[in-house]
Amino acid sequence: MRLQDIVIGKYYGHKDHPNYGCAKVIKILPPKTGINTKTYTIVKCEWSLERNDTIGLIKYFKPSNLVEVKDG
């Protein structure tokens, strides 16, 4: 997925396993700023198994690793 298409607060899946888990975008981190020491942009996400889970892990993904998932 292109960086321009990512919306903060929206849910996405991972390209390797789009039907398992979901990532809610929290923040987009440009390269070489603050917590992102990489030379490319990363996306900070809350990763959980289902959308209605009350707890999730904070994970960082490349924008190209995220894919859109169907609502429902």
Q: Which residues pair with 29 in a beta bridge?
A: 42
Q: What is the pLDDT of residues 24-61, one digit of tens each?
A: 999 999 999 989 999 999 999 999 998 888 899 999 99
Helix (H) or strand (E) holding 9: none
Domains of the chain: 3-67 (2.30.30)
The number of residues making up the chain comes to 72
Residue 19 or residue 48, greater confidence: 48
Give yes or no for a contact between 44 and 15, defined as CB atoms under 8 angstroms apart: no
pTM above 0.85, yes or no: yes
Residue 71: per-residue pLDDT: 67
- Give the chain's end-to-end CA distance (angstroms, integer): 20
Q: What is the mean pLDDT of residues 61-68?
A: 96
Residue 13: per-residue pLDDT: 94
